[in-house]
Amino acid sequence: MLTLNSMTKIYSLLFLTVFATQNVSAQDDDFQKRIFFTTGVGGSYVNVIDQGISPLLYSGVGGAAQFGHIEDREKGYSQSYGRFDFNLLDSETSGATIYSYKAEGSYQHYFKSLGNDEGKWRFYTGFSTHFKWVLRDHTSFTNNSQHIETRFSLAPSAMLRRPFELWSKSFELGLFTHLPLITYANRPLFASTKFPALVNNEDPAWYDYLTNGKVYSWGKYFNIRTQTYLNYYFKNGNGLKLDYYWSYDSLKDVNPIKTGEHAIIISTLFKL
Amino acid sequence: MKCNKFYIIPFLVILLSACERAFIKENPEPNNAEVFDHLWETVDQKYSFFDDKDIDWDRAKSLYRGDAVRARNSIELFNALADLLFVLEDGHVNLSAGIDLSRNWEWYLDYPPNFNWDIIERNYLLPSEDYQISGPLHNTIIDSVGYIYYESFGNSVSTSLLDYIILKFEEEQINSLEGPVAGLIIDIRNNGGGSISNAFTIANRFAGDKTKVADWFYKNGPAHDDFTKAEEKFIEFDGDEEYKFNKPIVVLTNRSSYSSANFFASMMSFIPNVTLMGDQTGGGGGLPINNELPNGWRVRFSSTRTIDARGNNIEFGVAPDVKLDLDSADLQNGRDTMIEAAIDLIKN
């Protein structure tokens, strides 16, 4: 667990990381702010070992639906998305099946640090917040079939992007990545699927499912999350977006969890 | 770093993501010792009755680990692990593999069965013109007393179904009597349990004002005495107010009334017009959970404790108010001693 002192250091580091990047912004008087609303669908693949359920590796494919926004500004960039995934996970060893339902949301805010707007790579730094809720339903279990985990992370993040033209068409290749410093994680009781705040709570409120969690940082919790994208812009300003998301996640506590998630999403970009 | 070198980074990320399985891997071929140790440790940390039963789990490890390590095939390994789990003396503990299912049967095999479905069906249910099978509930009227047999709490029961059965027992237009029944027998003999929510549904239908029946304690840490604070459990009337049932109720139990049936008997004992009759229930006061072993076998064991509102640990069963066994002479004559005694108790 984090001490107050170490928490302070981490917050300070985060603060410096975010704000130290702001003074290198490039200028371009002709820049036109663009805002897009995005909707997409795709497929995902998950590997997970959740020791609260099993020491076995469960893997499987599934589908995903996503919506979000992108705001491309002269001095920065921000995006958000919400996504729902359903995956059918199997263990080769036990032959059992887990249904995995995941809802996640992310907001990222970037400040331009390096590069210009003349077709070169541009480098941004900023911060991101990420929320994840996962329900894993082991179809062969009875009283403890449904395991839920919730995460909320705050992370410094970085972004690379490069607009380019090919066959007289406008494209953009880019990459986001984030590495959380602080994560709030909520798991069920040690040997139950019941949440701590629900014990002797006959009429729980929605937020009771989120309370009594723990704050984790490196050493106990590690996560790297990346998004690689290719955008194609139509002449009317709308476009299509192809994303590849990858996340590796490791929580070391009682009932540790390791998760690897991949998703490919095809989205439409509607210019607002 | 120059901007024009950045193009390498997206490709590095995609390469890195392909290596993820190096960090997320299960033990591909666990040996016998690893399977045994995983089982022993999981149960050591998550089983709920070590202190209540005064179990020496370390000694059990020293007794059976050698057998497991020396096992030459899956059957010998299974038997060694089953022997380890047998020490827990718990009907909720199973080891499940494709080849076998281990279980401790002692909670009822050492006692008289006190149940004969053939006699109930042939001599009490089928001869009655009121006999119906309403969902999972066999019900009829025997000598002016309502009778319900519930075989498994795994079969769902609704409040509206119970409302109907009570209506049937109370309204002469839809039964063969010229008046309402004198009382009710709820027979849960040989009911091995199922969903605890069905136990609450039935108990709530016959309960009065809100009454505390038990405290539940969840395992919340690896030490044998790591439990949450008490979660209080209550029953309270839920059903058609017009057909509240305030007449005498007898709940029939035997040693094969286990788990949710055990908890149901305990809850019903807190309703003033209820009498428990028959043999002590088999027990099973912990909510069982499942886990898996590194070789893919599945284990189930209790992970909670239940203390009833009188302070009794119901893992060891619920004692009846009227202790009674089936009489062999009655059996010869096709009579169920408990049903007959329950009718006498209700009518007198």
pLDDT value of residue A194: 84
Q: Do B298 and A94 touch (CB under 8 A)?
A: yes
Q: Assess contact for A158 and A177: CB atoms under 8 A.
A: yes
Residue in B219, B35, B58, B56 with CA at minimum distance from that of residue A254 = B219
Which among A47, A93, A115 is the nearest to B24, CB-wise?
A47
Lowest-confidence region among A24-28, A85-89, B29-33, B39-43: A24-28
pLDDT at B252 over 80: yes
Q: Does A164 touch chain B (CB under 8 A)?
A: no
Q: Assess contact for A258 and A48: CB atoms under 8 A.
A: yes
Which among B7, B232, B291 is the nearest to A54, CB-wise?
B291
By C-alpha distance, the chain B residue nearest A198 is B231
By C-alpha distance, the chain B residue nearest A55 is B294
What is the distance of C-alpha A157 from the center of its chain? 11
> Could you read off the pLDDT tens digit of each residue along chain A, which spans 272 residues?
444 344 434 444 443 443 344 433 334 445 678 999 999 999 999 999 999 899 999 999 999 999 999 999 888 899 999 999 999 999 999 999 999 999 999 999 998 777 665 657 888 999 999 999 999 999 998 888 889 999 999 999 999 888 888 888 899 989 998 999 999 999 888 888 888 888 888 888 888 888 888 999 888 999 999 999 999 999 888 999 999 999 999 999 888 999 999 999 999 999 98
Give one DSSP letter per residue of A124-164, joined into a string: EEEEEEEEEEEEEEETT-STT-EEEEEEEEEEEEEEEEEEE
Q: Does A49 touch chain B (CB under 8 A)?
A: yes
pLDDT value of residue A16: 45
CA–CA distance, B298 with A146 (Å, rounded to integer): 16
Written out in words, the top-level CATH class of the domain with range A4-186+211-271 is mainly beta
| Pairs of CB atoms within 8 A across A/B | 140
By C-alpha distance, the chain A residue nearest B295 is A93
Lowest-confidence region among A142-146, A172-176, B61-65, B226-230: A142-146
Q: What's the whole-number mean pLDDT along residues B64-89?
A: 96
| % of chain B with per-residue pLDDT over 70 | 97
pLDDT value of residue A255: 87
Q: How confident is the model at residue B210 (pLDDT cuts 50, 70, 90)?
A: very high
What is the distance of C-alpha A91 from the center of its chain? 25
Which among A57, A228, A248 is the nearest to B10, CB-wise?
A228
Q: Which residues pair with A243 in a beta bridge?
A: A229, A265
Residue B227 falls in which region: left (phi positive, over 0), alpha (psi -120 to 50) or beta: beta
* pLDDT, tens digit, 9 for 90 and up, residues B171-182: 877 778 777 899
Query: Most A CBs within 10 Å: which of B290, B298, B299, as the mutation test of the A interface?
Result: B290
Q: What's the whole-number mean pLDDT along residues B179-198?
A: 94
Which among A56, A160, A260 is the nearest to B26, CB-wise?
A56
pLDDT value of residue A118: 62
Q: Do A55 and B298 touch (CB under 8 A)?
A: no
What is the distance of C-alpha A53 from the center of its chain? 23
Q: Does A219 touch chain B (CB under 8 A)?
A: no
Q: Do B303 and A192 touch (CB under 8 A)?
A: yes
pLDDT at B11 over 80: no
Burial class (CB in 10 A: 0-12, 13-18, 19+), B227: buried
pLDDT at B230 over 90: yes
Q: Do B230 and A191 touch (CB under 8 A)?
A: no
The per-residue b/e assignment along B141-179, b for 16 or more CB within 10 angstroms, e otherwise, is: bbebbbbbbbbbbeeebeeebbbbbbebbbeeeebeeee
> What's the whole-number average pLDDT of chain B?
93
Q: Which residues pair with A111 in a beta bridge?
A: A76, A125
Q: Which is more confident, B50 or A18? A: B50
What is the distance of C-alpha A83 from the center of its chain? 9
**All structural domains of chain B:** 117-288+304-347 (3.90.226.10)
CA–CA distance, B97 with A35 (Å, rounded to integer): 57
pLDDT value of residue A25: 39
CA–CA distance, B17 with A198 (Å, rounded to integer): 37
CA distance A115 to chain B (A): 7
Q: Does A94 touch chain B (CB under 8 A)?
A: yes
Q: Do A226 and B304 touch (CB under 8 A)?
A: no
If residue B233 lies in a helix (H) or strand (E), which one and from where to where? Answer: strand B231-235
Query: Most A CBs within 10 Å: which of B198, B220, B260, B287, as the mutation test of the A interface?
Result: B220
pLDDT value of residue A31: 64
In 3-state terms, what secondary structure has residue B297? coil
CA distance B281 to chain A (A): 22
CA distance A54 to chain B (A): 5
Q: What's the whole-number mean pLDDT along residues B158-165?
A: 95
Ordered alpha helix ranges (H), chain A: 4-19
Q: Assess contact for B188 and B265: CB atoms under 8 A.
A: yes
Q: Do B231 and A199 touch (CB under 8 A)?
A: yes
